Structure 1
Amino acid sequence: MEENPQSIYQFNAKLIDGKNKELADYKGKVLLIVNIASACGFAPQLKELQELRDSFNQDEFEVLGFPSNDFGGQEPLVGTAIYEFCEANYGVKFPVFDKIMVRGSQANPIYKFLSNKDLNGHIKSTPRWNFHKYLVNKNGEVVDYFFPFTKPLSSKVRKKIQRLL
């Protein structure tokens, strides 16, 4: 079976606990992939991201959080301390991955794919700050993005997810 090269499923990433996770495990789900940072002014969006996840059937929708220290040094925590912060302060239960770089030549391959239309076939949008959100359809294709100031519970985000479900 030929894998779609313009699919997020070709990648794997390390979860915050160090375990490797194949993104192909999310086949058939709509994904919202977000670069997060605990010390960012947008950090309260973590609570909204969890509420968004809870509001949709988790068999069909998932939020994936990728901590990044790329913007203003706003992710000073490392390892499981990041998840513990997110869970304790914002009730986060969605998967949080190991801290990565999301822009520039050192960007994680997942973020190079998400931000580059030549690679993903659909959109060009490099994160300019924390909480940049990528929307991925059930086929693993990047179909949209939202800037950090777009709140996860906004009707714009909810309607686009609903259409893909």
Structure 2
Amino acid sequence: MTSLYSIPLTLNDGSDVDFGRFKGKAVMVVNVASECGYTRQYAGLEELYGKYRGQGLEILGVPCNQFGGQEQGTDAEIAEFCQRNFGVTFPLTTKANVLGKEQHPLFAELTQTDDAEPVKVKWNFEKFLVSRDGELIARFPSAVEPDSEELIEALEKALR
């Protein structure tokens, strides 16, 4: 497995960083979309960020237009939408593919398994919890809400 920390990212503001900026933090990576039935989860994610950021949580939203064409805006439009409607302050990347030949390297690593076949992202708002050591420790499907007991339990364990 490649170190997640070496994977390059382009943030929504155009700045180039790598996942290493989160070293030592627990990170929830979420593929997001503005026109999805789960879009309201932005509010719950922002709530988590506000509550746990001081304890070492980072949330990284990765806009993706691969599921039902539900993220068609530009990077600037996406950022404005998230801030205006949900008060999002956690970082967003530029739009990226989470599936296929053009899959972002972050999702290539997050979906890798010990088996030969990776477990594909199924829909918007899948959540990947990465430990402070850069290891994937939990994955939650879209229907698992940010305030769900199972997600909070995994998150709090990752922050200990």
| RMSD of aligned alpha carbons | 1.6
Instruction: Give the structure 2 partner of residue 91 of structure 1.
Output: 87
Contact residue 7 and residue 139 of structure 1 kept, 8 A: no
Instruction: Give the structure 1 partner of residue 121 of structure 2.
Output: 127
Matches within 5 A, 1:15-164: 15-58=11-54, 60-118=56-114, 124-164=118-158
Tell me how many residue pairs correspond in the alignment: 158
Q: TM-score, normalised by structure 2?
A: 0.93
Distance in 2 between residues matched to 1:6 and 1:161, nearest whole Å? 23
Q: CA deviation at 1:17?
A: 1.1
Contact residue 35 and residue 68 of structure 1 kept, 8 A: yes
Distance in 2 between residues matched to 1:59 and 1:23, nearest whole Å? 19
Q: Does the residue aligned with 1:162 lie in a helix, a strand or coil?
A: helix
Distance in 1 between residues matched to 2:127 and 2:3, nearest whole Å? 17
Match for 1:7 among 3, 19, 40? 3
- Which ranges of structure 1 fall in alignment gaps of 5 or more residues? none
* Percent identity over paired residues: 35
Deviations 1:74-104 (A, max 9, x none): 0010121101100100110000000000011
Deviations 1:28-75 (A, max 9, x none): 100000000001110000010000111113351110000000000000
Return closer, same or farther for 1:11/1:59 CA change in 2, 3 Å cut-off: farther
Q: TM-score, normalised by structure 1?
A: 0.91
Contact residue 125 and residue 145 of structure 1 kept, 8 A: no
- Which ranges of structure 2 fall in alignment gaps of 5 or more residues? none
Return structure 1 stretches of 4+ with deviation > 2 angstroms. Answer: none
